[in-house]
Amino acid sequence: MAASGNSVNFSQSLIPIFKDENFEFWSIKMKTLFKSQDLWELVENGYADPDEENNNRLKENKKKDNKALLFIQQAVHETIFSRIAAATTSKEAWEILHKEFQGSSKVITVKLQSLRRDFETLFMKNNESVQDFLSRVTAIVSQMKSYGEQITDEIVVAKVLRSLTPTFDHVVAAIEESKDLSVYAFDELMGSLQAHEARLNRSLETKNEEKAFQVREESSNQRGRGHNRENNLFPLEIASVENHALVAREKNETSLWHLRYGYLNINGLKLLSQNEMVLGLPKIESIDMYFLGLEVKQGKDGIFISQKKYATDLLKKFNMLNCKVAATPMNVNEKLKIEDGTQSTDGRFFRSLVGGLIYLTHTRPDIAFSVGVVSRFMHNPTAHHLGAAKRILHYIAGTRDFGLWYSQVSNFRLVGFSDSDWAGCLDDRRSTSGSIFNLGSGAITWTSKRQATIALSSSEAEYIAATSSACQAVWLRKLLADLLQDQKGATEIFCDNASAIAMTKNPVYHGRSKHIDIRHNFIRELVANEVISLKFCSTNEQVADILTKSLPREKHVYFRSRLGVCKFESRGSVEE
């Protein structure tokens, strides 16, 4: 390539040729070419005819535009050239190619959806090299970016770490412990994985080869000197090694028999024992079962689910096993915000603490709101935020053996509670929605989250929260129907705001409701079709209140018991 003044002569080999495939990559190369010649603005936006005084500028723009058009014509294959032959400007030719090979905004959206699906279902194959796997990842990510997708290194790194084969499990664990994944570059991850793969391949190549030695024993049957000189070898005695199996003994053999007959539940094992259908099967007793930190205990009148061991381990991890206990997880009317005037604290320590608390909410809905509040400050926590998180641990220290109790009932009736805390967030003034659904005797699902939109009134906030609860009720009804537990009649959802209830029954839009997003009005159709029924309850009986704000001790304990959160005694009774 030689340059002379403002003109540049390109060799045809330097211009990428488009042959009806990989348009995204070709367009990226062409953009770089246009930008290097200061032509991209003309190709993207075109040019307007200036006034008569700027004829020289018009000639210059036409010259540059013809130059860009020439590059485009030279960069397409003969089979494609006919489609842009009638174009008189570079912008026109570029738009023709884009519409045909990349499509409109709707087509791009469809392609992005397909690429997102490919990205989520992408996993490393067993015999695939790191280089090949990362090349597939890079190809999909590049295509997504070419369609305008904003995908960060943090997302790509997290996806790669999730998609590696079990051979790299220890490497993934080391990276997650030692690196801050929010700032960890994808290129750095590629280097680490390729270096580990190289070490692994070297270790496989240098395995010791097994060799067998043969020894011959000969004797001249002579006595004295000269005996055993001919071979100068002694017989080799090979010692045999016996294998021993370790045996574990357990006082309660019920769990061992349960593992042996994994397809049978406790009642099935009891039936086998009572009828003496299996030789040696002892009397079956109820057992405690553990699933991913969840402890399931069977009492005389129901089932108790807790995370006592996990809560104890969490307190030990943060040296708070013997700390002073708190009656509530958060101070009454306490509000947290991003800028609170206190100094920043260790972000990794804070994220580890909050992450442990989030997992504990699987059986502890009484801490869902307070954990949700502190989880909003993961990126830049302060000393005040850390103090609020530790306050939750003080509460856990006094209630670590609490869990969810489900008693035996004859009627499995689905009942919901919906509430909101209007403009509770000090940073963006968004409201917090809270909802709970009970089936029989205890809570089976609950949620505490900020609303996506800013409500202009408390009635609007309650209306949005009720709509979200109604959608959850529809899904639960279908799930229960699949389990042969059909709900007869409308599902009742209790709300403590009369205006929100009236809005679900009034189809007329007025000044206070016409601005509400259409998707939030889905609840009106559900009420009209008698799928759900929104009922009024007083604030003192609104169980979902515990999921939207911090409460005084008396209210917190009362609503906690209404949720079914209590203490399980060894004899099978329950203590609140």
404 within a domain of the structure (yes/no): no
Q: Let me know if 564 is exposed, middle or buried by CB neighbors in 10 A (0-12, 13-18, 19+).
A: buried
Max avg pLDDT among 102-106, 109-113, 214-218? 109-113
128 within a domain of the structure (yes/no): yes
205 within a domain of the structure (yes/no): no
Partners of 437 in beta bridges:
416, 445
Is 322 or 212 the better-scoring residue by pLDDT? 322
Q: What average pLDDT score do residues 172-190 get?
A: 83
For position 26, what pLDDT does the model report?
80
Residue 553 CA to its chain's centroid (Å): 34
**Domain final residue pick, 398, 432, 451:** 398
Instruction: State whether 271 and 386 are in the same domain.
Output: no
pTM greater than 0.75: no
Instruction: State whether 491 and 529 are in the same domain.
Output: yes
Max avg pLDDT among 40-44, 167-171, 334-338, 443-447? 443-447
For position 506, what pLDDT does the model report?
72
For position 239, what pLDDT does the model report?
60
The answer, yes or no, to whether residue 512 has pLDDT greater than 70, is: no
Q: What average pLDDT score do residues 439-445 get?
A: 89
Whole-angstrom distance, CA of residue 545 vs CA of residue 322: 30
Whole-angstrom distance, CA of residue 306 vs CA of residue 329: 18
Max avg pLDDT among 11-25, 177-191, 417-431? 417-431
Instruction: State whether 326 and 277 are in the same domain.
Output: no
- Residue 446: CATH number of its domain: 3.30.420.10
pLDDT tens-digit readout, 262-315: 556 666 767 777 777 776 666 665 555 555 678 888 777 888 999 999 999 999
pLDDT tens-digit readout, 251-264: 556 666 656 665 56
Percent of the chain topping pLDDT 90: 29
496 within a domain of the structure (yes/no): yes
75 within a domain of the structure (yes/no): yes
User: What's the mean pLDDT when you consider all of the chain?
Assistant: 80
Q: Measure CA of the first residue to CA of the last residue in the chain; give whole Å.
A: 84
For position 64, what pLDDT does the model report?
83
Instruction: State whether 16 and 33 are in the same domain.
Output: yes
Instruction: State whether 54 and 150 are in the same domain.
Output: no
Q: Which of 385-394, 442-451, 562-571 has the lowest mean pLDDT?
A: 562-571
The answer, yes or no, to whether residue 27 has pLDDT greater than 60, is: yes
Classify the C-alpha dihedral 93-12-32-188 as positive or negative. positive
Q: What average pLDDT score do residues 524-537 get?
A: 90
Residue 50 CA to its chain's centroid (Å): 55
Kindly indicate the confidence band of residue 570, based on its pLDDT and cuts at 50, 70 and 90.
very low
Q: What is the tally of structural domains in the chain?
A: 5
The answer, yes or no, to whether residue 519 has pLDDT greater than 50, is: yes
**Domain final residue pick, 368, 398, 428:** 398
For position 545, what pLDDT does the model report?
94
For position 208, what pLDDT does the model report?
47
**Domain final residue pick, 70, 102, 134:** 102
Q: Which of 149-153, 265-269, 362-366, 489-493 has the lowest mean pLDDT?
A: 265-269
For position 2, what pLDDT does the model report?
40
For position 207, what pLDDT does the model report?
53
The answer, yes or no, to whether residue 331 has pLDDT greater than 80, is: yes
Q: Which of 442, 449, 411, 392 is nearest to 568 (CA)?
A: 442
Q: Which residue has the tokens 């750095």?
A: 188
Instruction: State whether 158 and 97 are in the same domain.
Output: no
Q: Pull the structure tokens for residue 156.
A: 């790509």
pLDDT tens-digit readout, 546-560: 999 999 999 999 999
Instruction: State whether 489 and 508 are in the same domain.
Output: yes
Torsion angle of C-alpha atoms 506, 510, 511, 514, degrees rounded to 10: 80
Kindly indicate the confidence band of residue 144, based on its pLDDT and cuts at 50, 70 and 90.
confident
Is 450 or 268 the better-scoring residue by pLDDT? 450
Instruction: State whether 314 and 347 are in the same domain.
Output: yes
141 within a domain of the structure (yes/no): yes
501 within a domain of the structure (yes/no): yes
State the number of CA atoms in the 13 A half-sphere of 441 facing the CB: 14
Is 116 or 543 the better-scoring residue by pLDDT? 543
For position 223, what pLDDT does the model report?
52
The answer, yes or no, to whether residue 360 has pLDDT greater than 90, is: yes
Instruction: State whether 507 and 420 are in the same domain.
Output: yes
Q: Three-state DSSP class for 216?
A: coil
What phi and psi values does residue 290 have, to the nearest 5 degrees? -120, 130
562 within a domain of the structure (yes/no): no
Q: Which of 428, 326, 447, 431 is nearest to 387 (CA)?
A: 326
For position 370, what pLDDT does the model report?
94
Instruction: State whether 390 and 441 are in the same domain.
Output: no
Kindly indicate the confidence band of residue 198, based on its pLDDT and cuts at 50, 70 and 90.
confident
Q: Which of 41-45, 373-377, 406-410, 428-432 has the lowest mean pLDDT?
A: 41-45
97 is in which domain, residue-wise?
A: 2-102
Instruction: State whether 530 and 427 are in the same domain.
Output: yes
Instruction: State whether 421 and 524 are in the same domain.
Output: yes
